[in-house]
Amino acid sequence: MKRLKGSISEIMRRMLPGENHSGGMELVQVAILVAIAIALGLIFRTEITGFVNKTFDNLNGGF
């Protein structure tokens, strides 16, 4: 049996798959968050539109 040399953190880093590919996981997380934001925007589209219109009407009414 082959002995592993190095500290525990070095050994774990070499043994764990995907540890060197963290940039790809971050991209997937961002894509999921964007998809959730778009889905929520589509679901609550009428409420968001009403809120924005009411806010701008109140802002324009003050001048």
Cα separation, 32 vs 36, whole angstroms: 6
Q: What is the pTM of this model?
A: 0.50
Cα separation, 15 vs 20, whole angstroms: 11
Which two structure tokens, joined as six digits, stand for 49? Answer: 């539109």
Cα separation, 9 vs 59, whole angstroms: 58
Q: What is the pLDDT of residues 3-29, one digit of tens each?
A: 666 677 676 666 666 555 566 788 999
Mean of pLDDT over the chain: 81
